[in-house]
Structure 1
Amino acid sequence: MAETLYNPFTRFNFSNRNCFLTGQTLTSEEEKIQVFPAWLMSRYQLEDKVIKLLDESYIGYKDLKLPCTTAVNTQYIEPLESEIETAFAQGYEGVQQLEPVKIFQWAGKLLYGIIFNELQAGIRQQHAQGEEFTVSQGLIHKFSHLHLMLQSLNHQITFDGFTPFSLFLFKVDNPENEFAYRDEINTLTFSLRIQDFGLIICLQDNGSNRRYHEEIVKQIENDTLHPIQFEEFCGRVFYSAFLFNRLPEYDILPVADEIFVEAAPLRGTSGRPLFDEWQNKTYGQVLENFWKPWGFLLFEIIKNVDHPMSFLFTRDGHKIGAEAIDLHK
């Protein structure tokens, strides 16, 4: 196994001299790929826009890159990007036809690319101050398992009897050319709202968030949502991902040319629920952030703390149709 799977966290190797996926030495530091693919940046004019890093600094979308051998890019990354680009161009119907694991690989590569750049920036900053760079063991645990699962791109990896992620896909009545992207690297959660769809993915929860929100999903999964409804559901998922209190463990079993990944039971020896207790005040703060485009403030959202404002459901639990939402009044 050690000869086939690469773990950059063993030696904390995040230099530009080694391929991010395989660890192979590059022929040149110019061997890089874009974290946000060129087709996506071109479609939404992101080349001259910036994204905020954890240290509060800003970096251009086009400047976020990953070291990657030409062979890996040609054989594994480009075919995935091509498949995703084609599906996204067809909107909701196209994305719905994708294998969920392809969306997982694509979103995982993108989020891992941001993590890689965050780690590089942190290492540079700490070394400049003469300090050793440290990351919590919990985050290393999550990031290294995400990287392991990304190697399903270039290895025959089977997730044996489980799905490592929660994926939510909705049809959304988005404004033309809107690009709404959000991530939370501490919980490995990602959302994207473009075209006529919105997707959310929790990359390392073994499907727990999907099960947590199952009742709501059943009620709204076949509807076309208003953007504020999608962002409300986003807020719910990002908050529940924060409440999720397990670090999934996996057994790696190489068999011939295949690698089987088995998930240990999430409950383990703990009697605690998988999710900490939901607090509406904290959820309201999350929702305020997700609803920034519409200007709703926390005191409005939790005016009644037992019943936070919702555009998905009425106070008595009835579903609100997107056509009933008028935010121009």
Structure 2
Amino acid sequence: MPVQIYSPFEKFNFSNTSCFLTGQPLQSTEEKIQVFPQWLMSLYKLEDQPFKLLDESIATYKDLKIPCSAQVNDAFLEPLENEIAEAFAKGYKGVRALNELRLFQWAAKLMYGIVFNEIQSGIKMQHAQGEQFSMSQSILLKFSQLHMMLQSINLPLYFEEFKPFSLFLFKVNNREEEFGYRDEINTQTFALRIKDFGLILCLQDNQANRGYHHEIYEKIKEDTLHPIQFEEFSGRVFYSNYLFNRLPEYNILPVNDEIFIEDMPLRGVSSKPVFDHWVNKTYGQVLENFWKNWGFLLLEIIKDPEHPMSFLFDAEGNKISSQSILLPI
């Protein structure tokens, strides 16, 4: 029998009676796994920390769970978690040595777990109001494609000579106990800053953001950054992924017992640039949010509207050394 991709969005199956990854029936509604893995929650004492959902309701990190077959968890997800945990324990060097696809799979599983919880919460809220749950077709397609890519964990599913993601990794001078996590589920952007590293992933852009920030990234990727520098670059990527105006499309090619995913050209038939126009005021608002720890306000950040404040480059475009930044880490 040919390999089948599971598509929960076709019948909108988000119950706790089916495995989130394969759709197979579960023995019990208690057959679940944590969205944020236990090893990570234990490391940073996250279990009872608040986690705000899109409907403004507050859960805790340990409340976020997804239905998952014990067999699937044992065979595919636990080995992935163990591999990531081992790499993270070694810090920047360990993460740098990881297969990028494994890092993508791990972040995608975490992001999709949050999406799953958001959808369940949305369905309950809409039903309580006597309404049918709905979401835009573009968001539906994004989430559906993310789930398809996630199945590269458990199926012989291969990306045909392309990466569906942009990955940026830095060495960062973080505080030892700090857990810096940020996501934007509509654009599928993910950032994590812990131990001695920070990483940013755009989960479904076919490396478009990697190309957009190529020049800057090449200049700073070998440097050890101050946390405010990492947050600045992270703000750039989160904003550019918001400006990314394509919805990537893919050909699915079953070949014998394998499935190959082929990317379609991003330019397609549109004459529009792949990214919308960069607006410094909007970017400044993003930075204000990313720099909350240091208290910089929008008026300071865009005092010169043509050249927003930067801790990465000076007015002449020269790199700023992290050692010269006299701000707390």
TM-score normalised to the size of structure 2?
A: 0.99
Where 2:8 maps in the other structure, the secondary structure is coil
User: Following TM superposition, by how much is the alpha carbon of 1:221 offset from its aligned partner in structure 2, in angstroms?
Assistant: 0.3
Letter in 2 for 1:77: L
For 1:125 and 1:277, the matched residues in 2 are separated by: 36
For 1:112-155, what per-residue CA distance to the aligned partner results, in whole angstroms no more than 9, with x for missing partners?
A: 00000000000000000000000010101110000000000111
Taking the TM superposition and a 5 Å limit, the aligned residue runs for 1:110-259 are: 110-259=110-259
Taking the TM superposition and a 5 Å limit, the aligned residue runs for 1:41-80 are: 41-80=41-80
User: Following TM superposition, by how much is the alpha carbon of 1:327 offset from its aligned partner in structure 2, in angstroms?
Assistant: 1.8
Where 1:119 maps in the other structure, the secondary structure is helix
User: Following TM superposition, by how much is the alpha carbon of 1:79 offset from its aligned partner in structure 2, in angstroms?
Assistant: 0.1
Letter in 2 for 1:234: S
Unpaired runs of 5+ residues, structure 1, are: none
Query: Is 1:34 aligned to 2:34, yes or no?
Result: yes
Unpaired runs of 5+ residues, structure 2, are: none
Taking the TM superposition and a 5 Å limit, the aligned residue runs for 1:266-305 are: 266-305=266-305
User: Following TM superposition, by how much is the alpha carbon of 1:300 offset from its aligned partner in structure 2, in angstroms?
Assistant: 0.5
Aligned residues: 328
For 2:53 and 2:60, the matched residues in 1 are separated by: 10
Taking the TM superposition and a 5 Å limit, the aligned residue runs for 1:300-315 are: 300-315=300-315
For 1:209-237, what per-residue CA distance to the aligned partner results, in whole angstroms no more than 9, with x for missing partners?
A: 00000000010000000000000000000
User: Following TM superposition, by how much is the alpha carbon of 1:257 offset from its aligned partner in structure 2, in angstroms?
Assistant: 1.2
Letter in 2 for 1:273: P
For 2:3 and 2:167, the matched residues in 1 are separated by: 31
Q: Which residue in the other structure is 1:96 paired with?
A: 96
For 1:14 and 1:82, the matched residues in 2 are separated by: 27
For 1:269 and 1:153, the matched residues in 2 are separated by: 32
Q: Which residue in the other structure is 1:18 paired with?
A: 18
Q: Which residue in the other structure is 1:262 paired with?
A: 262
For 1:315 and 1:148, the matched residues in 2 are separated by: 44
Identity across the alignment (%): 66
For 2:100 and 2:162, the matched residues in 1 are separated by: 13
For 1:250 and 1:274, the matched residues in 2 are separated by: 17
Letter in 2 for 1:14: F
For 1:6-46, what per-residue CA distance to the aligned partner results, in whole angstroms no more than 9, with x for missing partners?
A: 00000111000000000000010111000000000000000
8 Å Cα contact 2:18-2:25 kept in structure 1: yes
For 1:161 and 1:325, the matched residues in 2 are separated by: 41
8 Å Cα contact 2:104-2:201 kept in structure 1: yes
For 1:91 and 1:324, the matched residues in 2 are separated by: 24
Where 1:183 maps in the other structure, the secondary structure is strand
For 1:289 and 1:175, the matched residues in 2 are separated by: 20
User: Following TM superposition, by how much is the alpha carbon of 1:60 offset from its aligned partner in structure 2, in angstroms?
Assistant: 0.5
For 1:2 and 1:75, the matched residues in 2 are separated by: 20
For 1:5 and 1:266, the matched residues in 2 are separated by: 24
> Cα 1:127–1:2, aligned 2, differ >3 Å: closer, same or farther?
farther
- RMSD of aligned alpha carbons: 0.9
Moved over 3 A (4+): none
For 1:274 and 1:156, the matched residues in 2 are separated by: 31
User: Following TM superposition, by how much is the alpha carbon of 1:316 offset from its aligned partner in structure 2, in angstroms?
Assistant: 1.1
Where 2:11 maps in the other structure, the secondary structure is coil
